């Protein structure tokens, strides 16, 4: 069984920028990186909750 990929905060921001700035669908970006779309939605939620503090 393989190890799970850990994404750094910088990598997460890069992935989120593809969605926001380039207008790509979450499902397409998730597939490109081998992620489940829920991961991206969770990262987006974490990022917005941090910025609202």
Q: What is the pLDDT of residues 16-33, one digit of tens each?
A: 999 999 999 999 999 999
| Mean per-residue pLDDT of the chain | 90
Cβ(16)–Cβ(43) below 8 Å: yes
Stronger pLDDT, 2 or 7, i.e. the higher one: 7
Cβ(24)–Cβ(18) below 8 Å: yes
- In the chain, domain spans: 9-51
Whether residue 53 is predicted with pLDDT greater than 70 in this model: the reply is no
Whether residue 49 is predicted with pLDDT greater than 80 in this model: the reply is no
The DSSP symbol for 5 reads: P
Percent of the chain's residues with pLDDT above 70: 92
Q: Which pLDDT score is estimated for 46?
A: 86
Cβ(15)–Cβ(7) below 8 Å: yes
């Amino acid at each position: 069984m393989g190890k799970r990929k850990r994404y750094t905060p910088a990598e997460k921001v890069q992935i989120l920028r593809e969605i926001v700035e380039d207008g790509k669908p979450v499902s397409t970006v998730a597939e490109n990186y081998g992620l489940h779309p829920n991961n991206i939605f969770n990262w987006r939620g974490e990022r917005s909750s941090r910025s609202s503090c």
